[in-house]
Amino acid sequence: MIDISRELQVALNTGKVMLGYKESLKAIIDGSAKLVILASNAPSEVASTVQHYAKIANIPVFVFQGSSWDLGAAIRKPFKVSTIAIVDPGESNILALASQRTG
């Protein structure tokens, strides 16, 4: 089992990560996202839109088992984060979550 919080930190520091619904959706639509992480309590409209476009683009979606506050805390941000798109994992092993896709 990988430490999601740690791998997200490594991806943030060494790779390219898009935070939030609008930025993540742009990365999904333009095909640059390699993995999408969705908070378990993301609004249903956000979750269904992200999952719809990710499915079309064949991008795995991992549902983070925590709230958007927890996801924000996992990346050391003092605000809620519903969606994260991993564009470049950098030195992290975050893409291993793709094999645990739940979306």
Domains and their CATH numbers in the chain: 4-100 (3.30.1330.30)
pLDDT digit string, tens, across residues 19-68: 999 999 999 999 999 999 999 999 999 999 999 999 999 999 999 999 99
Report how far residue 34's alpha carbon sits from residue 94's, in angstroms, rounded to the nearest whole number: 10
Whose tokens are 């991806």? That residue is: 11
pTM, entire model: 0.93
